[in-house]
């Protein structure tokens, strides 16, 4: 299929005329002119301070919106957001998409619409290099869905750079993970899991001898949220297989965690309460177990035990994307996250900041100050927006301090986590669930405004009361 000439010309104008095709490490050509007046994104006003934010996740998009509404609207700085995708999806919703209880298109926010609303500029791209002494980032070639290169490798100047590209799953070099396990890093991953699970249930419906075997590797936030969502949806999922509905436990869920407790970033008491609730729901939680290999039909544990597995979801840990290891020799930890000070600045360059899962904020004593959670990225984005405004005004930066506002607690309207008559921590569990729900609403309020968020919430709630929770199409 041929790409439209008009569409290609329009995108080429938006992206600009391709520049020299060379890597930023090419010292011989590094001093050639880099500005490109034909590209609308090229900054020709040398007096304008350009803040470039790479990554439009929970922290990156909120930061762009806050800065755009402030220094961008007042013309004090140009705010540019870089992301390879055309729309933003709140990553903690992926477990709901995977379970089929939410459509991937319900909450997607278009970056261009956000840019118009919040006075920043959006540029599609993926960072692949950094030239610190020239204050330039390099973006990889832009390839469309048909494999056509729409824009060559290109550069973008910055005065202040914020890296917020998130993290990927850490497979710890475990054999078979990449081939046989599914991660939940994107809406495509979540939809792939849902499709696989529905197909397995449909196939198992022809032979109800045993339930569908699902293994979740990793007892962190993603794994626990996912298990929680699935337990509320397995009845509808099992309806895909006629005979499977007659099995008492149509989908058998096992959770494998290498450490001695679930949810390491949360207080021990909250983690233990959540553990009990998952077990009460029928999930087989196994602590102090390491996965030695993932096979096409099973999981081999380090102690030699073999668990049958029709489907494996890997949520065992995170690490920074590979590109972080080559960005201007910035300091990283063993998980390839950028090390940043309490001001969220990298240790080697005061003009480069990092927030979210790709960053490891450490104190002067070396202690990690923020867990890899969406609420931490939100807090960092809010603080950094104030700090960068102060920096432009010649004032000092504000140190970051993470604040816990309630822990995740499974259970919607039942069970020990939310019933004070059955558990003395019920009020705390209810507060935790409310805090978690409010986390996403605050995110929407920053991006859409309070009134639109309220109307959207009501609009979601009313039809959900009248339709099945599970999305089967």
Per domain, the residue ranges of the chain are: 49-167+320-393, 177-317
Backbone angles phi, psi at 316, to 5 degrees: -80, -15
- Residue among 121, 14, 106, 108 nearest 65 (CA): 121
Cβ-based neighbours of 320, under 8 Å, separated by 6 or more? 167, 168, 332, 335, 336, 337, 338, 357, 358
Cβ-based neighbours of 348, under 8 Å, separated by 6 or more? 132, 328, 329, 330, 331
Interstrand relation of 154-157 and 136-139 (parallel, antiparallel or unpaired): antiparallel
CATH topology of domain 49-167+320-393: FAD/NAD(P)-binding domain (3.50.50)
Report pLDDT for 222: 87
- Residue among 162, 182, 465, 457 nearest 309 (CA): 182
Q: Measured between alpha carbons, how far is 194 from 188 in angstroms, rounded to an integer?
A: 10
Q: Which helix (H) or strand (E) holds 131?
A: strand 127-131
The CA angle 146-147-148, to the nearest 5 degrees, is 95
Report pLDDT for 270: 84
Report pLDDT for 127: 97
Report pLDDT for 384: 98
Q: Measured between alpha carbons, how far is 270 from 425 in angstroms, rounded to an integer?
A: 9
Other residues' Cβ atoms within 10 Å of the Cβ of residue 311:
18
Report pLDDT for 415: 35
Q: Measured between alpha carbons, how far is 74 from 333 in angstroms, rounded to an integer?
A: 38
Report pLDDT for 89: 93
Report pLDDT for 225: 86
Diameter of the chain measured on Cα atoms? 73
Say if 49-167+320-393 and 177-317 have the same CATH topology.
yes
- Residue among 283, 306, 286, 293 nearest 214 (CA): 283
Where the chain has pLDDT below 70, the residues are 1-47, 205-209, 235, 238-248, 405-436, 460-473
Report pLDDT for 440: 87
Q: Measured between alpha carbons, how far is 54 from 359 in angstroms, rounded to an integer?
A: 13
Q: Is 226 exposed, middle or buried (0-12, 13-18, 19+ CB in 10 A)?
A: buried
Report pLDDT for 114: 98
Report pLDDT for 421: 32
* 177-317: CATH number: 3.50.50.60
Report pLDDT for 422: 36
- Residue among 298, 303, 225, 302 nearest 266 (CA): 225
């Amino acid at each position: 299929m041929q790409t439209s000439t008009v569409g290609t010309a329009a995108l080429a104008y938006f992206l600009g005329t391709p520049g020299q095709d060379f890597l930023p490490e090419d010292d011989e050509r590094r001093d050639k002119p880099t500005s490109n007046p034909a590209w609308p994104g090229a900054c020709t006003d040398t007096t304008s301070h350009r803040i470039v934010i790479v990554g439009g996740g929970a922290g990156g998009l909120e930061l762009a919106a806050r800065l755009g509404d402030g220094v961008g609207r007042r013309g004090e700085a140009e705010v540019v957001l870089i992301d390879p995708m055309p729309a933003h999806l709140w990553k903690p919703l992926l477990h709901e998409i995977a379970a089929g209880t939410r459509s991937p298109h319900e909450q997607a926010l278009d970056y261009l619409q956000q840019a118009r609303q919040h006075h920043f500029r959006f540029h599609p791209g993926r960072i692949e290099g950094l030239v610190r002494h020239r204050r330039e980032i390099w973006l990889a070639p832009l390839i469309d869905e048909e494999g056509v290169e729409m824009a060559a490798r290109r550069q973008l100047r910055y005065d202040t750079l914020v890296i917020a590209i998130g993290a990927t799953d850490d497979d710890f070099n475990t054999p078979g993970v990449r081939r046989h396990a599914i991660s939940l890093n994107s809406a495509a991953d979540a939809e792939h899991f849902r499709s696989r699970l529905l197909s397995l249930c449909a196939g198992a419906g022809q032979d109800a001898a045993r339930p569908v075997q699902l293994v979740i590797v990793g007892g962190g936030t993603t794994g626990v949220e996912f298990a929680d969502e699935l337990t509320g949806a397995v009845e509808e999922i099992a309806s895909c297989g006629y005979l499977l509905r007659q099995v008492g436990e149509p989908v058998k869920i096992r959770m494998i965690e290498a450490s001695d407790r679930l949810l390491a970033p949360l207080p021990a008491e909250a983690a233990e309460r959540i553990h009990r609730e998952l077990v009460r729901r029928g999930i087989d939680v196994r602590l102090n177990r390491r996965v030695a290999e993932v096979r096409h039909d099973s999981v081999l544990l380090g102690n030699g035990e073999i668990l049958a597995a029709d489907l494996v979801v890997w949520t065992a840990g995170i690490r920074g994307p590979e590109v972080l290891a080559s960005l201007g020799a910035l300091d990283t930890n063993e998980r390839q996250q950028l090390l940043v000070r309490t001001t969220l600045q990298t240790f080697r360059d005061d003009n480069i900041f990092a927030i979210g899962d790709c960053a490891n904020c450490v104190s002067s004593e070396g202690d990690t100050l923020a867990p890899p959670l969406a609420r931490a990225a939100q807090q960092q984005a809010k603080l950094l927006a104030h700090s960068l405004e102060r920096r432009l005004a010649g004032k000092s930066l504000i140190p970051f301090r993470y604040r816990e506002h309630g822990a995740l607690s499974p259970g919607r309207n039942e069970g020990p986590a939310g019933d004070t008559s059955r558990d003395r921590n019920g009020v705390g569990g209810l507060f935790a669930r409310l805090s978690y729900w409010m986390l996403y609403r605050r995110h929407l309020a920053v991006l859409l405004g309070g009134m639109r968020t309220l109307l959207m919430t009501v609009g979601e709630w009313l039809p959900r009361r009248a339709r099945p929770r599970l999305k089967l199409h």
